[in-house]
Amino acid sequence: MQTYTYCILAAISPAIRNTSFVYYIRHIAPIINMELQKFISDFAACFNSTPVESFAADTQFKKNEEWGSMMALIVIAMVDSDYNKTIGAEDIKQANTVQDLFETIKKK
């Protein structure tokens, strides 16, 4: 019933249509995706000898040879300075992929 009502309203009102799913896909999702892409490149920049291109949202960063307690501090410092958020040891422990960490930071 809600969908039916919405379709009728969307058809007659451009304003309502602009808040629609299509609008979300066209305008909102790319911004979120851009944020994630920016985080991936910020995260990748923390690493010394791993090329930036080898990082993606689903990269399991703890499997990276460079990863260790030093890298964790470097990432914590980056998140603090670039995102003004604090992540702890437990946040890092819980995250497997770069996107997991991004989602954790977003929730803070």
Partner 1 sequence: MALYTIRNVALCGIAASVPKNTEDNLYMELLSPQEREMFVKTVGIRYRRVAPPGLTASDLCLSSAEKLIEELGWEKEEIVLLVFVSQTPDYLIPNTSSVLQHKLGLSKTCLAFDVNLGCSGYTYGLSIVAAQLAAMQHGKALLLVGDIATATISKEDKSVTPLFADAGSATAMEYVPGAPTLHFNLQTDGSGYQDIIIPDGGMRNPFSESSLTPVVYEKSVVRNALNMRLDGVNIFNFALREVAPNIKALYEKYALDIPGTDYFIFHQANKLMLESVRKKIGAAAEKVPYSLYDLGNTSAATIPVTIVNNLRKELSTGNKKLLFSGFGVGLSWGSVYVETLPLCIPSLIEV
Told to check if 48 binds partner 1 by CB under 8 A, we report: yes
Told to check if 95 binds partner 1 by CB under 8 A, we report: no
* Distances, alpha carbon 105 to alpha carbons 39, 76, 83, 99, in Å: 10, 11, 8, 10
Tell me, by CB under 8 A, how many residues bind partner 1.
Answer: 18
Per-residue DSSP letter, 64 = S
Structure tokens at 84: 């003004």
d(CA 81, CA 22): 35
Q: Contact with partner 1 (CB under 8 A): which of 76, 95, 101, 105? A: 76
Stretch that binds partner 1, among 12-20, 32-40, 78-86, 100-108 (CB under 8 A): 78-86
| Interface contacts to partner 1, rule CB under 8 A | 48, 65-66, 68-74, 76-77, 80-81, 86, 88-89, 92
